[in-house]
Amino acid sequence: MRIDIATLFPDMCRSFLSESVIGRAIKGGHIDIRCHNIRDYAGNKHNRVDDKPYGGGTGMLMQAQPIYDCITAIREDTAPDRRVIYMSPQGRPLSQQTVKELADSDGFIILCGHYEGVDCRVLEELKAEEISVGDFVVTGGELPALMLADAAARLIPGVLPNDEAYEQDSHFDRLLEYPQYSRPEVWRGRAVPQVLLSGDHKLVKQWQDEMKLAVTLAKRPDLLVDRRNNGKPLSKYVRFAVRDEGLPEDIFAALTMLSKNKALNSKEKKVFVKIDKYFNEFLPFPKEISGEKLFTYYKTENRDIVDMCLSLCDIFTAHEIKIDIIYSEIVGKIVREDGYRAFCKE
Protein backbone atom coordinates (compact mmCIF):
# COMPACT_ATOMS: atom_id res chain seq x y z
CA MET A 1 0.00 0.00 0.00
CA ARG A 2 1.49 3.30 -1.07
CA ILE A 3 0.13 6.80 -0.58
CA ASP A 4 1.73 9.73 -2.42
CA ILE A 5 1.08 13.27 -1.23
CA ALA A 6 1.68 16.12 -3.71
CA THR A 7 2.10 19.40 -1.84
CA LEU A 8 3.97 22.70 -1.72
CA PHE A 9 4.86 21.97 1.92
CA PRO A 10 6.22 18.40 2.09
CA ASP A 11 8.07 19.02 5.37
CA MET A 12 4.79 19.92 7.06
CA CYS A 13 3.50 16.47 6.13
CA ARG A 14 6.73 14.59 6.86
CA SER A 15 6.85 16.00 10.36
CA PHE A 16 3.40 14.60 11.18
CA LEU A 17 4.09 11.29 9.44
CA SER A 18 7.25 10.62 11.42
CA GLU A 19 5.47 10.46 14.79
CA SER A 20 3.33 8.05 16.81
CA VAL A 21 1.32 5.17 15.29
CA ILE A 22 1.77 6.18 11.63
CA GLY A 23 5.47 6.96 12.15
CA ARG A 24 5.99 3.44 13.56
CA ALA A 25 3.90 1.88 10.74
CA ILE A 26 6.08 3.57 8.10
CA LYS A 27 9.31 2.59 9.87
CA GLY A 28 8.00 -0.98 10.28
CA GLY A 29 7.29 -1.18 6.52
CA HIS A 30 3.52 -1.69 6.90
CA ILE A 31 2.78 1.31 4.73
CA ASP A 32 4.69 3.55 2.34
CA ILE A 33 3.75 7.25 2.40
CA ARG A 34 5.78 9.58 0.19
CA CYS A 35 5.65 13.38 0.07
CA HIS A 36 6.44 15.22 -3.18
CA ASN A 37 7.21 18.89 -3.58
CA ILE A 38 5.16 20.36 -6.44
CA ARG A 39 7.69 23.20 -6.56
CA ASP A 40 10.28 20.71 -7.93
CA TYR A 41 8.15 20.74 -11.11
CA ALA A 42 7.95 24.55 -11.41
CA GLY A 43 9.94 24.52 -14.63
CA ASN A 44 11.19 28.12 -14.20
CA LYS A 45 14.28 29.57 -12.57
CA HIS A 46 12.32 31.34 -9.82
CA ASN A 47 10.49 28.12 -8.88
CA ARG A 48 7.17 29.89 -9.23
CA VAL A 49 4.10 27.69 -9.05
CA ASP A 50 1.28 30.20 -8.52
CA ASP A 51 -0.21 33.16 -10.35
CA LYS A 52 -3.09 35.65 -10.14
CA PRO A 53 -6.54 34.30 -10.99
CA TYR A 54 -8.11 35.54 -14.23
CA GLY A 55 -11.06 37.84 -13.55
CA GLY A 56 -9.42 39.29 -10.47
CA GLY A 57 -9.93 38.49 -6.84
CA THR A 58 -7.53 38.33 -3.94
CA GLY A 59 -4.88 35.69 -3.51
CA MET A 60 -2.92 33.43 -5.79
CA LEU A 61 -3.86 30.25 -7.58
CA MET A 62 -1.65 27.18 -7.97
CA GLN A 63 -0.90 26.74 -11.68
CA ALA A 64 -1.90 23.68 -13.64
CA GLN A 65 1.40 22.63 -15.26
CA PRO A 66 3.57 21.98 -12.15
CA ILE A 67 0.73 19.99 -10.56
CA TYR A 68 0.23 18.02 -13.76
CA ASP A 69 3.94 17.23 -14.07
CA CYS A 70 4.23 16.21 -10.42
CA ILE A 71 1.23 13.84 -10.58
CA THR A 72 2.37 12.45 -13.95
CA ALA A 73 5.77 11.62 -12.45
CA ILE A 74 4.09 9.81 -9.56
CA ARG A 75 1.81 7.93 -11.95
CA GLU A 76 4.84 6.91 -14.04
CA ASP A 77 6.40 5.50 -10.86
CA THR A 78 3.23 3.70 -9.71
CA ALA A 79 0.39 3.15 -12.20
CA PRO A 80 -0.74 5.30 -15.17
CA ASP A 81 -4.34 5.31 -13.89
CA ARG A 82 -3.47 5.88 -10.23
CA ARG A 83 -6.42 7.48 -8.45
CA VAL A 84 -5.91 11.18 -7.66
CA ILE A 85 -7.78 12.74 -4.78
CA TYR A 86 -7.81 16.52 -4.52
CA MET A 87 -8.53 17.66 -0.98
CA SER A 88 -11.13 20.38 -1.44
CA PRO A 89 -13.86 22.11 0.55
CA GLN A 90 -16.03 21.53 -2.55
CA GLY A 91 -15.62 17.75 -2.51
CA ARG A 92 -17.90 15.04 -1.21
CA PRO A 93 -17.54 14.64 2.53
CA LEU A 94 -14.95 12.12 3.66
CA SER A 95 -16.55 9.07 5.27
CA GLN A 96 -15.24 5.90 6.87
CA GLN A 97 -16.67 3.95 3.91
CA THR A 98 -14.49 5.94 1.48
CA VAL A 99 -11.49 5.52 3.77
CA LYS A 100 -12.04 1.73 3.88
CA GLU A 101 -12.38 1.55 0.10
CA LEU A 102 -9.11 3.48 -0.34
CA ALA A 103 -7.34 1.39 2.31
CA ASP A 104 -8.33 -1.77 0.42
CA SER A 105 -6.67 -0.48 -2.78
CA ASP A 106 -2.97 -0.72 -3.54
CA GLY A 107 -2.54 3.02 -3.29
CA PHE A 108 -3.61 6.50 -4.34
CA ILE A 109 -2.32 10.04 -4.78
CA ILE A 110 -3.45 13.00 -2.67
CA LEU A 111 -3.19 16.50 -4.10
CA CYS A 112 -3.05 19.40 -1.63
CA GLY A 113 -4.15 22.84 -2.75
CA HIS A 114 -2.94 26.02 -1.08
CA TYR A 115 -3.63 29.78 -1.23
CA GLU A 116 -6.81 30.26 -3.29
CA GLY A 117 -6.73 26.67 -4.57
CA VAL A 118 -5.74 25.26 -7.96
CA ASP A 119 -6.45 26.01 -11.62
CA CYS A 120 -9.56 23.87 -12.20
CA ARG A 121 -8.36 22.62 -15.59
CA VAL A 122 -5.73 20.40 -14.04
CA LEU A 123 -8.38 18.59 -11.99
CA GLU A 124 -10.33 17.79 -15.14
CA GLU A 125 -7.20 16.71 -16.99
CA LEU A 126 -6.11 14.40 -14.15
CA LYS A 127 -9.68 13.12 -13.57
CA ALA A 128 -9.20 13.99 -9.91
CA GLU A 129 -11.88 13.20 -7.34
CA GLU A 130 -12.60 15.93 -4.81
CA ILE A 131 -12.94 15.03 -1.15
CA SER A 132 -13.69 17.42 1.69
CA VAL A 133 -13.01 17.01 5.40
CA GLY A 134 -15.98 19.20 6.33
CA ASP A 135 -17.98 22.26 5.44
CA PHE A 136 -15.34 24.77 6.44
CA VAL A 137 -12.18 26.12 4.83
CA VAL A 138 -8.60 25.67 6.01
CA THR A 139 -5.55 27.39 4.55
CA GLY A 140 -4.15 24.37 2.72
CA GLY A 141 -4.82 20.76 1.77
CA GLU A 142 -2.01 19.41 3.96
CA LEU A 143 -4.05 18.88 7.16
CA PRO A 144 -6.98 17.33 5.22
CA ALA A 145 -4.51 15.10 3.29
CA LEU A 146 -2.91 13.93 6.52
CA MET A 147 -6.32 13.17 7.96
CA LEU A 148 -7.12 10.98 4.97
CA ALA A 149 -3.69 9.30 4.95
CA ASP A 150 -3.89 8.65 8.70
CA ALA A 151 -7.44 7.30 8.51
CA ALA A 152 -6.51 4.93 5.66
CA ALA A 153 -3.17 3.87 7.18
CA ARG A 154 -4.69 2.72 10.46
CA LEU A 155 -6.86 0.22 8.54
CA ILE A 156 -3.79 -1.44 6.95
CA PRO A 157 -2.98 -4.80 8.57
CA GLY A 158 -0.17 -4.49 11.10
CA VAL A 159 -0.60 -0.77 11.77
CA LEU A 160 -2.93 -1.27 14.75
CA PRO A 161 -2.55 -4.24 17.12
CA ASN A 162 -5.48 -6.10 15.48
CA ASP A 163 -8.51 -5.58 13.21
CA GLU A 164 -10.81 -5.41 16.23
CA ALA A 165 -9.11 -2.17 17.23
CA TYR A 166 -10.78 -0.29 14.38
CA GLU A 167 -13.83 -2.50 13.81
CA GLN A 168 -15.13 -1.40 17.21
CA ASP A 169 -14.58 2.27 16.46
CA SER A 170 -17.26 4.78 15.59
CA HIS A 171 -18.35 4.82 11.93
CA PHE A 172 -16.92 1.38 11.05
CA ASP A 173 -20.44 -0.05 10.80
CA ARG A 174 -22.11 3.36 10.43
CA LEU A 175 -22.77 3.52 14.16
CA LEU A 176 -21.01 5.40 16.93
CA GLU A 177 -19.03 3.50 19.52
CA TYR A 178 -20.53 2.49 22.88
CA PRO A 179 -19.46 4.49 25.97
CA GLN A 180 -16.18 3.38 27.54
CA TYR A 181 -15.02 3.39 31.15
CA SER A 182 -11.68 2.84 32.90
CA ARG A 183 -10.51 2.76 36.51
CA PRO A 184 -11.63 3.76 39.14
CA GLU A 185 -14.93 1.86 39.38
CA VAL A 186 -16.62 4.89 40.97
CA TRP A 187 -15.50 8.42 40.04
CA ARG A 188 -17.13 11.53 41.49
CA GLY A 189 -20.23 9.52 42.36
CA ARG A 190 -20.51 7.94 38.91
CA ALA A 191 -20.27 4.16 38.80
CA VAL A 192 -19.22 1.96 35.90
CA PRO A 193 -22.27 0.02 34.53
CA GLN A 194 -22.52 -3.27 36.44
CA VAL A 195 -22.63 -5.39 33.28
CA LEU A 196 -19.06 -4.35 32.40
CA LEU A 197 -17.81 -5.79 35.70
CA SER A 198 -19.74 -9.06 35.27
CA GLY A 199 -17.08 -10.88 33.24
CA ASP A 200 -19.90 -12.29 31.08
CA HIS A 201 -18.63 -11.62 27.53
CA LYS A 202 -21.97 -12.37 25.88
CA LEU A 203 -23.81 -9.92 28.11
CA VAL A 204 -21.12 -7.27 27.67
CA LYS A 205 -21.32 -7.61 23.88
CA GLN A 206 -25.12 -7.33 23.98
CA TRP A 207 -24.88 -4.20 26.16
CA GLN A 208 -22.28 -2.69 23.81
CA ASP A 209 -24.45 -3.37 20.73
CA GLU A 210 -27.49 -1.80 22.35
CA MET A 211 -25.48 1.21 23.53
CA LYS A 212 -24.10 1.78 20.01
CA LEU A 213 -27.64 2.24 18.71
CA ALA A 214 -28.69 4.36 21.69
CA VAL A 215 -25.62 6.63 21.39
CA THR A 216 -26.07 7.02 17.63
CA LEU A 217 -29.75 7.84 18.01
CA ALA A 218 -28.98 10.41 20.71
CA LYS A 219 -25.92 12.08 19.14
CA ARG A 220 -26.21 11.55 15.38
CA PRO A 221 -29.70 10.42 14.34
CA ASP A 222 -28.81 11.53 10.80
CA LEU A 223 -26.42 8.58 10.55
CA LEU A 224 -29.31 6.16 10.83
CA VAL A 225 -30.95 7.58 7.72
CA ASP A 226 -28.01 9.05 5.95
CA ARG A 227 -28.83 10.66 2.66
CA ARG A 228 -25.31 11.97 2.16
CA ASN A 229 -23.69 8.60 2.02
CA ASN A 230 -25.37 6.71 -0.83
CA GLY A 231 -25.13 3.85 1.59
CA LYS A 232 -27.95 1.64 2.68
CA PRO A 233 -29.65 3.10 5.69
CA LEU A 234 -29.14 1.18 8.87
CA SER A 235 -32.70 0.73 9.99
CA LYS A 236 -35.16 -1.22 7.84
CA TYR A 237 -38.11 0.92 8.78
CA VAL A 238 -38.59 4.50 9.74
CA ARG A 239 -41.52 6.55 10.98
CA PHE A 240 -41.60 10.33 11.07
CA ALA A 241 -43.73 11.67 13.87
CA VAL A 242 -44.47 15.09 15.30
CA ARG A 243 -44.87 15.55 18.99
CA ASP A 244 -47.11 18.42 20.00
CA GLU A 245 -48.11 17.50 23.50
CA GLY A 246 -48.40 13.93 24.64
CA LEU A 247 -48.26 11.17 22.08
CA PRO A 248 -46.55 11.40 18.72
CA GLU A 249 -48.68 11.75 15.60
CA ASP A 250 -47.75 10.68 12.11
CA ILE A 251 -46.51 13.67 10.14
CA PHE A 252 -49.45 13.60 7.73
CA ALA A 253 -52.00 14.40 10.42
CA ALA A 254 -49.87 17.34 11.52
CA LEU A 255 -49.34 18.52 7.96
CA THR A 256 -53.08 18.43 7.29
CA MET A 257 -53.58 20.44 10.47
CA LEU A 258 -51.01 23.05 9.34
CA SER A 259 -52.60 23.21 5.91
CA LYS A 260 -56.14 23.60 7.31
CA ASN A 261 -54.92 26.36 9.63
CA LYS A 262 -53.56 28.11 6.51
CA ALA A 263 -50.17 28.20 8.17
CA LEU A 264 -48.27 27.05 5.08
CA ASN A 265 -46.68 29.61 2.80
CA SER A 266 -46.98 29.21 -0.97
CA LYS A 267 -43.67 27.38 -1.36
CA GLU A 268 -44.59 24.94 1.41
CA LYS A 269 -48.04 24.44 -0.13
CA LYS A 270 -46.39 23.34 -3.36
CA VAL A 271 -44.31 20.75 -1.46
CA PHE A 272 -47.45 19.63 0.35
CA VAL A 273 -49.46 19.18 -2.86
CA LYS A 274 -46.65 17.21 -4.49
CA ILE A 275 -46.08 14.99 -1.50
CA ASP A 276 -49.78 14.56 -0.75
CA LYS A 277 -50.37 13.26 -4.27
CA TYR A 278 -47.41 10.91 -4.08
CA PHE A 279 -48.36 9.47 -0.73
CA ASN A 280 -52.03 9.10 -1.68
CA GLU A 281 -50.96 7.15 -4.71
CA PHE A 282 -48.40 4.90 -3.15
CA LEU A 283 -48.98 4.64 0.54
CA PRO A 284 -51.90 4.26 2.87
CA PHE A 285 -52.49 7.11 5.30
CA PRO A 286 -52.46 6.12 8.95
CA LYS A 287 -55.94 4.88 9.75
CA GLU A 288 -57.93 4.38 12.89
CA ILE A 289 -58.36 0.65 13.37
CA SER A 290 -60.80 -0.47 16.02
CA GLY A 291 -60.22 2.67 18.03
CA GLU A 292 -56.44 2.32 17.93
CA LYS A 293 -54.13 4.41 15.84
CA LEU A 294 -52.13 2.59 13.18
CA PHE A 295 -48.83 4.24 12.44
CA THR A 296 -47.20 3.82 9.07
CA TYR A 297 -43.57 2.82 8.88
CA TYR A 298 -41.71 3.38 5.65
CA LYS A 299 -39.08 1.12 4.24
CA THR A 300 -35.85 3.04 4.50
CA GLU A 301 -34.55 1.46 1.30
CA ASN A 302 -37.14 3.55 -0.48
CA ARG A 303 -35.00 6.66 -0.64
CA ASP A 304 -37.65 8.74 -2.44
CA ILE A 305 -40.13 8.36 0.38
CA VAL A 306 -37.57 8.86 3.11
CA ASP A 307 -36.24 11.96 1.34
CA MET A 308 -39.76 13.32 0.99
CA CYS A 309 -40.36 12.80 4.68
CA LEU A 310 -37.12 14.62 5.39
CA SER A 311 -38.28 17.60 3.35
CA LEU A 312 -41.50 17.54 5.35
CA CYS A 313 -39.32 17.62 8.47
CA ASP A 314 -37.84 20.90 7.17
CA ILE A 315 -41.35 22.39 6.96
CA PHE A 316 -42.16 21.31 10.51
CA THR A 317 -38.90 22.68 11.81
CA ALA A 318 -39.72 26.02 10.12
CA HIS A 319 -43.02 26.01 12.04
CA GLU A 320 -41.21 25.11 15.25
CA ILE A 321 -42.86 21.72 15.49
CA LYS A 322 -40.67 19.02 16.98
CA ILE A 323 -40.00 15.99 14.80
CA ASP A 324 -39.18 12.52 16.04
CA ILE A 325 -37.62 9.99 13.71
CA ILE A 326 -38.43 6.54 14.98
CA TYR A 327 -36.52 3.55 13.71
CA SER A 328 -37.49 -0.08 13.76
CA GLU A 329 -36.02 -3.37 12.70
CA ILE A 330 -39.18 -5.28 13.41
CA VAL A 331 -40.86 -6.56 10.27
CA GLY A 332 -44.57 -7.26 10.12
CA LYS A 333 -45.00 -7.23 13.85
CA ILE A 334 -47.21 -5.05 15.96
CA VAL A 335 -45.14 -3.21 18.53
CA ARG A 336 -46.32 -1.21 21.48
CA GLU A 337 -45.16 2.37 21.52
CA ASP A 338 -46.18 5.01 24.07
CA GLY A 339 -49.47 3.14 24.64
CA TYR A 340 -50.26 3.22 20.91
CA ARG A 341 -49.91 0.36 18.51
CA ALA A 342 -47.59 0.68 15.57
CA PHE A 343 -47.36 -1.67 12.67
CA CYS A 344 -44.33 -2.22 10.51
CA LYS A 345 -45.37 -2.80 6.95
CA GLU A 346 -43.49 -5.19 4.67
The catalytic site residues sit at 89, 116, 154, 169
Tell me the per-residue interface mask from 129 to 158 with ligand SAM, x by CB under 6 A, - otherwise. Answer: ---xxx-xxxxxx--x--------------
CA angle 63, 98, 80 (to 5 degrees): 50
User: Do 138 and 144 touch, CB atoms closer than 8 A?
Assistant: yes
CB atoms within 10 A of CB 294: 18
Q: Single out the segment in contact with ligand SAM by CB under 6 A; choices: 66-74, 109-117, 246-254, 264-272.
A: 109-117
* Cβ-based neighbours of 293, under 8 Å, separated by 6 or more: 286, 340, 341
Residue among 147 and 204 whose Cβ is closer to ligand SAM: 147
Q: Are 292 and 286 in contact (CB under 8 A)?
A: no
Residues 272-311 that bind ligand SAM (CB under 6 A): none
45 beta partners: none
User: Which alpha helices (DSSP H) does the chain contain, by range?
Assistant: 10-17, 20-27, 64-77, 96-103, 120-126, 142-153, 164-167, 201-219, 251-260, 266-282, 303-318
Among 17, 42, 112, 325, binds ligand SAM (CB under 6 A): 112
Site for ligand SAM in 34-93 (CB under 6 A): 87-90
Q: What's the closest the beta carbon of residue 295 comes to ligand SAM, in angstroms?
A: 40
| Residue closest to 87 by CA, chosen among 146, 127, 38, 23 | 146
CB of 67 to ligand SAM, least distance (A): 11
Q: Select the span of 113-121, 193-201, 264-272, 310-318 touching ligand SAM (CB under 6 A).
A: 113-121
Q: Pick the closer one to ligand SAM by CB: 134 or 284.
A: 134
Minimal distance, residue 48 CB to ligand SAM, in Å: 18
Please report how close the Cβ of residue 228 comes to ligand SAM at its closest, in angstroms: 15
**Residue, CB closest to ligand SAM:** 113
Q: How far is the CB of 43 from ligand SAM (least distance, A)?
A: 21
Query: Residue 27: which of 36, 16, 19, 37 has the closest Cα?
Result: 19
> In the complex, which residues of this chain contact ligand SAM (CB under 6 A)?
87-90, 112-114, 116-118, 132-134, 136-141, 144
